[in-house]
Structure 1
């Protein structure tokens, strides 16, 4: 398993659509989010406006190739700092959690 120790920070979805096919399905926390476009438009995209920062670290990936497919399992830590919202009376807060992902890639 390959491990990456540097944190990555990005508060936009710029450049991410090229990482997914149009018919790719996104799952998060046991829920089908739909296509990547659906996920960005209806879930992650609107949330990004509430984030002060969103960082990933301790990224580990395991890749298994069985042509024409490759399968990955990924583990990482993430930290989200939510902005304070004076109008709603909320303070800035930090969420730290583990994330996992599985990808199935097909060579055309």
Structure 2
């Protein structure tokens, strides 16, 4: 029985990976050496975080795949270009400051993709003087495209710290 379950699982995984968008059929799936690629993945995430803190996201489009998918606190934001134009860009214009603290990132590799989990606290101060302190988490899927790590999918959410 256990052997049948294991074989069924293997067959299902082969069907999933053979679907368009997962990896080219008939081609071996690239396996990334995490020890050498982890710093490059972390650099992409750090560049994005730094841009947010500077309230200047010019050029951050290069960190994302053109068909990326962004999800924020229960909302589907579309591609990064859509998120930037309709959500993030206008929002950052209303801020006086955005500061991260207690930032940690864990990266693991599965086949040809990197899976990243970032945890952090942040404080926003608006131009009108309001402040918001939050605990946040983001999960991202990155893939090397034309030799550069790009964010394919990003999901972030936040909540008020306990006692706030």
Aligned to 2:60: 16
Bigger Rg, structure 1 or 2: 2
**2:151 aligned with 1:107, yes or no?**
no
Q: Which runs of 5+ in 2 are unaligned?
A: 1-41, 146-164
Q: Contact 1:24–1:36 (CA<8 Å) still a contact in 2?
A: yes
Higher normalized contact order (CA 8 Å, seq sep 6+, divided by chain length): 1
* 116, 124, 134: which one aligns with 1:80: 124
Measured after TM superposition, the shift of residue 15 of structure 1 is 2.6
* 103, 120, 132: which one aligns with 1:95: 132
Measured after TM superposition, the shift of residue 67 of structure 1 is 2.3
Structure with the higher fraction of residues in strand conformation = 1
Q: Which runs of 5+ in 1 are unaligned?
A: 85-91
**2:72 aligned with 1:28, yes or no?**
yes
Question: Considering only aligned residues, what root-mean-square deviation do their CA atoms show, in Å?
Answer: 2.1
Local SS of the residue matching 1:24: strand
Q: TM-score, normalised by structure 1?
A: 0.80
CA distance in 2, matches of 1:76, 1:15: 23
Q: Contact 1:67–1:107 (CA<8 Å) still a contact in 2?
A: no
CA distance in 2, matches of 1:15, 1:75: 24
CA distance in 1, matches of 2:143, 2:96: 36
Aligned length, in residue pairs: 97
CA distance in 2, matches of 1:58, 1:12: 21
Q: TM-score, normalised by structure 2?
A: 0.54
